[in-house]
């Protein structure tokens, strides 16, 4: 059930009607949402519902021990057990194939051939997101971000909540649990804001990301030697926009659907390609993921007696790279970003020691700086999109040795690229003013127009055009 499909929005409408009917009976509403959320996940592969149950059960039990047991040693053991169990599941499903393939590649160097019959572990959809979300509960209880445990039903709903189950935002237990207790009533204002976000998400996904993939990115990466250098460079920038519009489009839809049902999900993007440094990019890009690594990994290792800030940054960014995928290209992606952020930190430290003020960019220098950082981010996207390091090198080789000067960009692809830049770089105040104007339209008229647009775009969308981050 792809969330840009008509079937998803029929399902979401059913969920909304159920929430509206049960809004004065909070426990019944939560039971209803839990059941339909599990049904939603099982439509992809019913077998992996057992995985969701296992992650839910282990982390809930650990949280209960942490909040109730008097001995600190037992509480620490419960926390370590929950984190270890959750990460073990993640590593098995996500990284088994990578390590086994790497082992066989190594053995082939010494003439050993053959393949294991246990290779090709199926990757459960959304495994990285649900694993990280699960371990926030025992950690938040241990660090007292949450001061009391919840019911098993509330925690199960927190884990399975269907709008953001597959690709985030990564919601923390301390953020979501209070909302389950408050039982916020549905409102016309929230409905209109939610519909607006859904429309924006569909535009990003169907009218931009999918078109860029079909007409520019996929052809360029499938046969880079057949295209000109300029087209291959444009394809890299197109991919930067594609991956942003794809994930932020999903996030907009998730936040919009949740808002209509009375729940608030955290903002996940803040115009990341307006960043003035690589560190600033990570403060704007996939905010719930990057802040998770900051608060739950960086903060945990910075007090190790042998660590230092540069080692910590490199370790965190390698972890971010590996989180995105099992491959040496993702490791290198993390190393590059960790190194760039470390260099930026070192340079700012030197400026501070010399008594120089922080760098401030304005006017033309700001535009040049934004373009510079956007280009750096785009170049590293090559490692993100290519299948492996060899494919990345092949793409770069094709740029340097192109034999044609053709630029086969169709009008629809050029329009999608222009719309992507327009949506991203338009000043926030203009966008907010447009949103405020939209929600002033009479509710019934606005709802009619937006629902019609949602229907049309969902009907036009492809059930096969899965979101990029579903693989993570």
Instruction: Print burial letters for 110-123: b (CB count within 10 Å at least 16), e (below 16).
Output: eeeeeeeeeeeeeb
| Spatial distance between the Cα atoms of 116 and 469, rounded to a whole number of angstroms | 28
Q: 58: which residues sit within 8 A by CB, 6+ positions away? A: 81, 82, 85, 86, 134
The neighbour count for residue 239, using CB atoms within 10 Å, is: 25
Q: 308: which residues sit within 8 A by CB, 6+ positions away? A: none
Contact 268, 168 (CB under 8 A): yes
- Looking from the CA of 196 toward its CB, the CA atoms found within 13 Å total 18
Instruction: Print burial letters for 175-192: b (CB count within 10 Å at least 16), e (below 16).
Output: bbbebbeeeeebeeebbb
| Spatial distance between the Cα atoms of 342 and 310, rounded to a whole number of angstroms | 6
Q: Which residue has the tokens 């510079």?
A: 372
Give the rounded distance of the alpha carbon of 464 from its chain centre. Answer: 19
Catalytic residues: 324
| Spatial distance between the Cα atoms of 12 and 168, rounded to a whole number of angstroms | 17
The neighbour count for residue 244, using CB atoms within 10 Å, is: 25
């Amino acid at each position: 059930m792809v969330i840009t499909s008509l079937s998803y929005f029929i399902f979401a409408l059913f969920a909304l009607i159920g929430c509206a009917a049960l809004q004065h009976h909070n426990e019944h509403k939560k039971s209803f949402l839990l059941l339909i959320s599990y049904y939603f996940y099982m439509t992809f592969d019913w077998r992996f519902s057992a995985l969701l149950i296992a992650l839910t059960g282990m982390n809930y039990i650990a949280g209960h021990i942490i909040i109730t047991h008097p001995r600190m040693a037992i509480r620490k053991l419960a926390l370590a057990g929950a984190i270890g169990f959750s990460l073990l599941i993640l590593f098995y499903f996500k990284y088994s194939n990578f390590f086994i393939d790497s082992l066989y590649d190594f053995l082939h160097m010494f003439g050993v051939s053959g393949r294991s019959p246990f290779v090709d572990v199926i990757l459960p959809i959304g495994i990285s997101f649900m694993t990280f979300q699960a371990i926030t509960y025992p950690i938040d209880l241990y660090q007292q971000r949450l001061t009391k445990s919840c019911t098993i039903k509330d925690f199960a709903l927190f884990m399975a909540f269907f709008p953001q189950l597959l690709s985030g935002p990564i919601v923390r237990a301390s953020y979501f649990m209070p909302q389950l207790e408050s039982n916020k009533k549905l409102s016309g204002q929230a409905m209109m804001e939610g519909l607006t976000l859904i429309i924006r998400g569909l535009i990003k996904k169907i009218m931009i990301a999918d078109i860029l993939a079909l007409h520019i990115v996929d052809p360029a990466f499938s046969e880079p030697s057949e295209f000109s250098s300029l087209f291959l460079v444009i394809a890299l920038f197109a991919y930067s926009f594609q991956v942003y519009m794809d994930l932020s489009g999903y996030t907009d839809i998730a936040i919009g659907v949740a808002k209509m049902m009375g729940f608030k999900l955290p903002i996940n993007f803040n115009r990341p390609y307006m960043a003035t440094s690589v560190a600033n990019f990570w403060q704007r890009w996939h905010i719930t993921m990057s802040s998770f690594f900051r608060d739950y990994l960086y903060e945990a290792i910075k007090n190790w007696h042998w660590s230092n800030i540069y080692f910590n940054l490199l370790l965190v960014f390698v972890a971010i790279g590996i989180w995105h995928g099992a491959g040496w290209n993702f490791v290198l992606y993390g190393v590059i970003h960790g190194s760039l952020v470390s260099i930026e930190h070192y340079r700012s430290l030197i400026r501070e020691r010399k008594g120089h003020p922080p760098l401030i960019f304005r006017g033309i220098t700001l535009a040049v700086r934004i373009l510079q950082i956007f280009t750096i981010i785009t170049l590293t996207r090559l490692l993100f999109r290519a299948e492996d390091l060899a494919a990345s090198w092949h793409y770069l080789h094709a740029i340097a040795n192109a034999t044609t000067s053709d630029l086969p960009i169709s009008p629809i692809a050029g329009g999608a690229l222009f719309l992507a830049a327009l949506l991203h770089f338009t000043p926030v105040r203009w966008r907010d003013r447009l949103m405020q104007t939209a929600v002033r339209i009479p509710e019934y008229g606005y709802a009619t127009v937006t629902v019609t647009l949602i229907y049309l775009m969902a009907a036009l969308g492809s059930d096969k055009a899965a979101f990029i981050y579903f693989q993570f």
